[in-house]
Amino acid sequence: MLQSTPFPTDVAGTVNSDSTERRVALITGITGQDGSYLTEFLLEKGYTVHGLIRRSSSFNTGRLSHLYADPHQEPRMILHYGDLTDSTNLVHLVVKVQPTEVYNLGAQSHVKVSFDMAEYTADVDGLGTLRLLDAIRTAGLAHKVKFYQASTSELYGKVVETPQSETTPFYPRSPYGVAKQYAYWIVVNYRESYGMKACNGILFNHESPRRGATFVTRKITQAVANIYLGKQACLYLGNINAKRDWGHARDYVEGMWRMLQQDEPEDYVLATGETHTVRSFVEKAFKVVGVDIVWEGEHEDEVGRDAATGAIRVRIDPRYYRPAEVELLLGDPSKAERKLGWKRTVDFDGLVKEMVESDLESLGGDLKALEQSLKKVEKVIKTRKDVAG
Ligand code: NDP
Ligand code: GDR
């Protein structure tokens, strides 16, 4: 059952009077990709999870629907209306929930949109972090709460060095990156000024079948599934030469939690240590449905054709270009591996395959039939090779 009362009178997770044993998390951005995986992870660990959700005229809790409690049981996931732009609301919420861990994942998280909504992005992503930290102080919990800030590889922006690590200087290239840089430093400042146990997780891109449909990976995998099923003809993209260090969101939320289990609060990079172009993501995704893409043309006139049929499956649309681009991200996760014992478990190929197959399945595609037809093609290729000697 969806518990959407803004300020419930009885707060689950507060039954145990010994504060050292309480495990109560408060998550902003709980309805997003990471929020949903983190909630699953924390519920599994026995936490009570409180989440901030925004009032919306349409349903925005789809990623959490499988976690709603049986109405006959005490709910362990409780949702509250709120917004990172509303400090009074945040203070009430923190006082009421008395969290032991706070995960600040809420953000206007789309880089391209941040150029259109720069002030709003600064308000939510930058000042929103300050409001939440101050709500914790106002509630008298500055020394009790462990705080996670969703920092980002977008802080590195223009390439200064690679791989990028905790010591690489920042050079953000978007209003989003600049707002997140404010958030990064206010977290460091509150840690140093008030002794707050606050950490920045500098996370490189992480994706999953739950990734928002306007981020490039999910846009590609949905298009591949639609094209395979004959529901779409062509995929339009912007800069396909940009390089990203892509991991799986499920691995990354575990890293967030591990950061908060340390005695000393510090900042950590989570990344795979590999980088790939958007172009190669496209090729891999089409390959999952047995299509080889060949490229021809240049710049805005470049197209990606199905090598077997000649059909144009990818075109460039400059509308998706950004006023300033982050060309190359490649992270060095060695500090997190050494100190947190964290390591990603899903590689690039595994990530692309899972996302394409999930989109195919949700669009009604038959994965078994696909597997069989790919096996047949493999056999034909092998026979041809054998014949050719
Ligand atoms: P999503 O875009 O999927 O989720 C963003 C969440 O923030 C949603 O729950 C959204 O609510 C909420 N939100 C937006 N505006 C507000 C607001 N004004 N007040 C409160 N909540 C708000 O992002 P991800 O899950 O991918 O990312 C989580 C966090 O990690 C973000 O802060 C992002 O910037 C950061 N990050 C993400 C990376 C990635 O690769 N995924 C990498 C590095 C950092 P609603 O559902 O109502 O829109
Ligand atoms: P990013 O992710 O900007 O890295 O931010 P996104 O998937 O939006 O873009 C990745 C790269 O792909 C290029 N690109 C396109 N991007 C989109 N969205 N749509 C297109 O059609 C397209 N064509 C090419 C982009 O130019 C870019 O180079 C994500 C977000 O989750 C942030 O919140 C997070 O902080 C960073 O990752 C790390």
Ligand in nearest proximity to the CA of 32: 1
- Ligand 2: residue of 113, 216, 240, 314 to mutate (most ligand atoms within 8 A of CB) is 216
* pLDDT beyond 70 at 6: no
CA 188–ligand 1 middle distance (angstroms): 21
Q: Are 211 and 218 in contact (CB under 8 A)?
A: yes
Give domain status of residue 65, yes or no. yes
Q: Which pLDDT band holds residue 84 (cuts at 50, 70, 90)? A: very high
Residue 386's pLDDT is what? 77
Give the Cα separation of 226 and 236 in Å (integer): 13
Domain count, the chain: 2
Give the Cα separation of 297 and 165 in Å (integer): 36
Answer yes or no: do 298 and 355 share one domain: yes
Query: What is the C-alpha end-to-end distance of the chain, expressed in Å?
Result: 64
Ligand in nearest proximity to the CA of 33: 1
Closest to 203 measured CA to CA, from 155, 266, 146: 155
CA distances, 31 to each of 92, 252, 316 (Å): 20, 16, 31
User: Which atom of ligand 1 has the smallest separation from the CA of 104?
Assistant: 32
Tokens of 362: 């949700």
Answer yes or no: do 201 and 282 share one domain: no
Give the Cα separation of 128 and 183 in Å (integer): 8
Residue 20's pLDDT is what? 52
Give domain status of residue 11, yes or no. no
Ligand 2 pocket by Cβ (under 6 Å): 109, 111-112, 152-154, 205, 214-217, 219, 237-240, 242, 244, 278, 320, 322, 325-326
Answer yes or no: do 180 and 231 share one domain: no
User: Which atom of ligand 2 has the smallest separation from the CA of 240?
Assistant: 24
Q: Which residues pair with 304 in a beta bridge?
A: 295, 314
Q: Are 181 and 170 in contact (CB under 8 A)?
A: yes
Give domain status of residue 12, yes or no. no
* pLDDT beyond 70 at 4: no
CA torsion through residues 179, 180, 184, 190, sign:
positive
Segment 13-24, tens digit of pLDDT: 433 334 457 999
Answer yes or no: do 38 and 148 share one domain: yes
Q: Are 81 and 4 in contact (CB under 8 A)?
A: yes
Answer yes or no: do 165 and 305 share one domain: no
* pLDDT beyond 50 at 66: yes
Answer yes or no: do 283 and 360 share one domain: yes
Full domain range(s) for residue 371: 216-240+277-328+346-388
Domain CATH code at residue 318: 3.90.25.10
CA 3–ligand 2 middle distance (angstroms): 33
* pLDDT beyond 50 at 113: yes
Give the Cα separation of 239 and 385 in Å (integer): 36
Q: Summarize the confidence of residues 343-363 as an average pLDDT.
A: 98
Higher pLDDT, 318 or 5: 318
Answer yes or no: do 178 and 316 share one domain: no
* pLDDT beyond 80 at 72: no
Residue 248's pLDDT is what? 98
CA 43–ligand 2 middle distance (angstroms): 30
Residue 43's pLDDT is what? 97
φ and ψ at residue 197, rounded to 5 degrees: -85, 75
Segment 304-328, tens digit of pLDDT: 999 999 999 999 999 999 999 999 9
* pLDDT beyond 50 at 61: yes
Answer yes or no: do 87 and 35 share one domain: yes
Nearest protein Cα to ligand 1, atom 3: 32
Answer yes or no: do 172 and 115 share one domain: yes
Give the Cα separation of 44 and 40 in Å (integer): 6
Residue 373's pLDDT is what? 77
Give domain status of residue 3, yes or no. no
Question: Beta 24-28 vs 48-53: how paired, if at all?
Answer: parallel
CA distances, 293 to each of 151, 229, 305 (Å): 35, 17, 5
What predicted TM-score, i.e. pTM, was given to this entire model? 0.94
**Which of 20-29, 200-209, 372-381 is predicted least confidently?**
372-381
Q: Are 147 and 133 in contact (CB under 8 A)?
A: yes
Give domain status of residue 10, yes or no. no
- Ligand 1: residue of 80, 89, 103, 105 to mutate (most ligand atoms within 8 A of CB) is 105
Nearest protein Cα to ligand 1, atom 10: 29
Answer yes or no: do 136 and 91 share one domain: yes
Q: Which residues pair with 150 in a beta bridge?
A: 201
φ and ψ at residue 45, rounded to 5 degrees: -85, 0
Q: Summarize the confidence of residues 59-79 as an average pLDDT.
A: 87
Nearest protein Cα to ligand 2, atom 35: 152
* pLDDT beyond 90 at 375: no
Q: Which residues pair with 269 in a beta bridge?
A: 202
Residue 18's pLDDT is what? 44
Share of the chain above pLDDT 70, in %: 94
- Ligand 2: residue of 154, 210, 215, 224 to mutate (most ligand atoms within 8 A of CB) is 215
Give domain status of residue 14, yes or no. no
Domain CATH code at residue 156: 3.40.50.720
Give domain status of residue 131, yes or no. yes
Give the Cα separation of 14 and 19 in Å (integer): 8
Nearest protein Cα to ligand 1, atom 35: 150
Nearest protein Cα to ligand 2, atom 13: 239
ipTM: 0.99
Answer yes or no: do 157 and 270 share one domain: yes
Catalytic residue numbers? 152, 154, 176
User: Which atom of ligand 1 has the smallest separation from the CA of 85?
Assistant: 18
Q: Which pLDDT band holds residue 1 (cuts at 50, 70, 90)? A: very low
Ligand 1 pocket by Cβ (under 6 Å): 28-29, 31-35, 52, 54, 56, 60, 83-85, 105-109, 124, 150, 152, 203, 205-206, 212
Give domain status of residue 376, yes or no. yes
Ligand in nearest proximity to the CA of 93: 1
Answer yes or no: do 289 and 267 share one domain: no
What is the residue-averaged pLDDT of the chain?
Answer: 93
